[in-house]
Structures are given as structure tokens and as C-alpha cells.
Amino acid sequence: MIKSKIKIRTRYVPAGIKILYEDRDIIVIDKSSGLLSVKANYEKDKTAYSLLTTYIRKGYAKTKIRLFVVHRLDRETSGVMIFAKSYEIREKFATQWPNIEKKYLALVHGKLPEKTGIIESYLTEDADYKVRSVDDSEKGDLAKTKYKVLKEAKNTSLLEIELLTGKKNQIRVQLSEKGYPVVGDEKYGRENTSKVKVRLALHAWSIKFKHPFTNEEMLFETVVPGCFSNFI
């Protein structure tokens, strides 16, 4: 793990996030499942963005630091996220984003006949905010998801996912449409008929990039949630 350049004030870190690294330009966190990345119409207060803003201003009420979202995770998805401390740094991330390596772990229903591959489709969002694939390239955005089967059980498979593009709900939609929905995905997958609530088994496991200011190569990996090992 890369050592943080700014001391992490552990006692001020709010529930729902773990700070992996901080310097004058960026903050890297591990977001918990169930926490929104940024505000939405139905939730404006408790988000990763708002909690992290409170953290960096704790004890420094007059600080001028403002956070900028580099990328987002679905509410139910846990894992690594990056925030920039200036607009300029965020824009530098935007220019290199296609070359940033983003890997996820996904636990899915079923066994894939091909153990490695790339799923491609054009994604569009309906009026009900649900994403789906369309045949017409002019009506959707190209989404590419690379996968590799890491382990199989009786009725589930653990996949390593590499995002080659970054579209809303991309992993969940494409796997579901292939017939292998993510475990716990009530929006795109199977309805949970049991009384036990199962979290979405999708985790942003690692991210590799060049620091936008120092150009240093950085790799951050997060702890794999227990729900993955429980199913395998």
C-alpha cells in the first residue's frame, strides 16, 4: 500500500468510508456498500462526497479546499474511489481516464461457458432510469467489459472485471443480459425471495493510474468484502 502523504486523522473518518491515501492533490477511499457517491434527489446529506468534505474541513473551518468527483460508484457497489482537491487535478484525471486500469470483483449466478472474454453492447437509459442494451449504435453508447472467471461454485462464479469503458450500471446490465446477473442485484437481476437481505456482490477492487501532478504510478487495492467468500 502506498503511504499517505498527509496523516489520516482516524478519529474523524466517518462511518461508511475508509481513507486509503491522501496528499495535497487527491484522496483515495474505500466506499462501503449502501452509501451514495454524490447527492441525488432522494439523498443530499449522507454521501461519500459530503462525508469526505466534512472530514477534510474538520478542525479547519476556513479551509478553501474543495473536493471534485473523479468518478462514481453505484450506491450498492463498494470499493475504491478517487476525489480531486482542485478542478485542474480533476481535468487531468479526465484526460488519462481511458488509460486508467479499473478492476472489479463480481459474484454472479451461473457458470460462464467461456472463462475469459469481452462483452460489448450499446447502452441507453430509459425514462425509468433503467439501463439496457440497444442494437442501434446511434441510440446508445458503446460499453466494453472484460471478464475472467476466478472461481466457480455449484451455482455461482467469481469474476474479475476490467472496465474498458465506464457507463452507468455497465457491469450489472451486461452480465444480466448475458444470463449471469450479479448476486444481490434486485434492479437488473433476480428477485430476492428469501427473508435474508443480500448486498450487491460487486466491488471496485483496484485502480491503477499515474498521479496527475507527480506522474508517479499508483496502485490501490481494497480488502475483499466477506460476502464474496461466503458464497464461494
User: What is the set of active-site residues?
Assistant: 74
Q: Which residues pair with 219 in a beta bridge?
A: 208
Q: Which residues pair with 207 in a beta bridge?
A: 102, 220
Q: What is d(CA 202, CA 154) in angstroms, rounded to the nearest whole number? A: 19
Q: Residue 1: name the closest of 22, 26, 16, 17 by CA.
A: 22
Q: What is d(CA 221, CA 232) in angstroms, rounded to the nearest whole number? A: 21
Q: Residue 78: name the closest of 228, 217, 232 by CA.
A: 228
Output the nine-digit C-alpha cell for 43: 439523498
Q: Could you tell me whether strands 131-134 and 202-210 are parallel, antiparallel, or unpaired per DSSP bridges? A: unpaired
Output the nine-digit C-alpha cell for 151: 472461481
Q: Residue 181: name the closest of 116, 106, 125, 130 by CA.
A: 106
Output the nine-digit C-alpha cell for 61: 473551518
Output the nine-digit C-alpha cell for 183: 448476486
Q: What is d(CA 158, CA 202) in angstroms, rounded to the nearest whole number? A: 10
Q: What is d(CA 81, CA 17) in angstroms, rounded to the nearest whole number? A: 10
